[in-house]
Structure 1
Amino acid sequence: MFRSVLFIQYAIILAISFVSGVICFQVFPLDKSMKLISFIDPRVLDITDISIWGTIVPLIAWMVLVLFFATHPYLHVLAKLVVGVKITFFGFSSVFLLTQQESLLVYSIWWFPFQLIYCFLLFMLCSVYAAKKVGPNKKYVFSQRLFVTVLITLSVICVGEIVSISYILPKL
């Protein structure tokens, strides 16, 4: 029961944050949008010149930020907020890609699937440090198994994204 409620909560956060990103793109002027995108993830602006580090560094930055808040006993609620901000940027950049790029294939092969999977995995990172009820007290437990599983999955998806950027997109 608890897992289904958590899944529904994450799905609602995903939907609201993505739509918020779309709305924010409509409100911002294009030059300000490009400045924001270049600050957070410059790959969106120039998909022809993407390095391996340009793919890995933004992912690690989001992971570290989520883990910082998720493992803090008092600020763990902010981890979901950080993922919500990531999803808002995902929606913001999605609209930018769809309005600025000529190819829908770039969006559908590279940006959308990988960013969506990253967002789900970042939500899973929010759950690595959870409170367990032990008698009348709460005890915080770090789930190493979940942490290692999420890290391995993130690594595999990151390699898939690098292969997609390096080998599939140039042939389109």
Structure 2
Amino acid sequence: MIRSLSFIQLFVILTVGYTGGVLLYRSIPSADFTLLVQLYDQRAVSDGSPSLVYQLLSVLSFYIVAAALALSGRTKWLVMMSGALKSVLFGLSSAYLLADGLKMTVYAGWWFPFQLAATLLVFFCCWTLSPPFYLKQPKKKKFSWRVPVLFAAAGLIVFFADKIVYKLTGG
């Protein structure tokens, strides 16, 4: 029961963040969200292929920020904010892409599944870095970075799979 509560918590944060990003895009129509979307995924804004280093930094930045926040006891409660920010940017970018005229088949077949998987991996990494209060162990155990690093590695695998599918679809 306890584990299912934490997965429900993660999916609620994902849903609220995604919906918040879409509503942010819809509620301020005159605002130019190009810079925010470009920070999240530069391919969504421009037709050209951005540099691989910039894209890797964009993907890894959420993991790096979450790990940096998890190092201190004073900022550990902000770790899930990194995942929530990725979720909001995911919703904002989705609304931007669909409003900009991206074909629904390309969106549903390429962009959405890979971005959803990447966002979920960031959430799981944040969850292991700073578990909810009801999952914490009462005695001090030495923290292992193995699981968060595995989630970051899985995020890189999803990133490269995304790049391959993007190239195959004509991106």
Instruction: Sort the TM-score into its range (normalised by shorter chain).
Output: 0.7 to 0.9
State how 1:70-109 maps to structure 2 within 5 Å. Answer: 70-109=70-109
- Asked if the contact 1:22–1:95 (Cα under 8 Å) also holds between the matched residues in 2, the reply is yes
Partner residue in 1 for 2:45: 45
Mapping of 1:121-132 within 5 angstroms? 121-126=121-126, 127-128=128-129, 131-132=136-137
Query: Aligned partners of 1:162, 1:5: CA distance in 2, in Å?
Result: 34
- Report the alpha carbon displacement of residue 33 of structure 1 after superposing the two structures with TM: 1.5
Q: Which amino acid aligns with 1:151?
A: A
Q: How far does residue 154 in structure 1 lie from its aligned partner after superposition? A: 1.6
Distance 1:54 1:109, change over 3 A: farther
Tell me the percent identity: 25
SS of corresponding position for 1:132:
coil
1:1-172 equivalences under 5 Å are: 1-30=1-30, 32-126=32-126, 127-128=128-129, 131-134=136-139, 139=140, 141-166=142-167, 168-170=168-170
Which structure carries more strand by proportion? 1
Distance 1:96 1:143, change over 3 A: same
Q: 2:30, 2:42 → 1: CA distance? A: 15
Q: Measure the CA separation in 2 of the matches of 1:129 and 1:25.
A: 30
> Any unmatched runs of 5+ in structure 2?
none
1:90-121 deviation digits (Å, cap 9, x = unpaired) = 00110111111341233123321111111111
Which deviates the most, 89-98 or 61-70?
61-70
Range with bigger deviation, 52-61 or 76-85: 52-61
Task: Describe the superposition over 1:46-85 as per-residue Cα deviations: whole angstroms up to 9, x where unpaired.
Answer: 1442332343120111110111123332222211112111
CA distance in 2, matches of 1:128, 1:143: 9
* CA RMSD, Structure 1 to Structure 2 (Å): 2.1
User: Quick one: distance in 2 between partners of 1:129 and 1:82?
Assistant: 11
Report SS of the residue matched to 1:133. coil
Once residues 72 and 115 of structure 1 are traced to their aligned partners in structure 2, the CA distance between those partners, rounded to angstroms, is 29
**Post-superposition, which runs of at least 4 consecutive aligned residues in structure 1 deviate over 6 A?**
none
SS of corresponding position for 1:142: coil
Structure 1 residues 35 and 152, CA gap change in structure 2 (3 angstroms)? closer
Paired with 1:46 and 1:63, the residues of 2 have a C-alpha distance of 25
Paired residue secondary structure (2:137): strand
Amino acid across the alignment from 2:108 = S
Maintained 8 Å contact 1:17/1:84: yes
Larger mean CA deviation between 22-31 and 34-43 belongs to 34-43
Provide structure 1 residue ranges, at least 5 long, that are not aligned to the other structure.
Answer: none
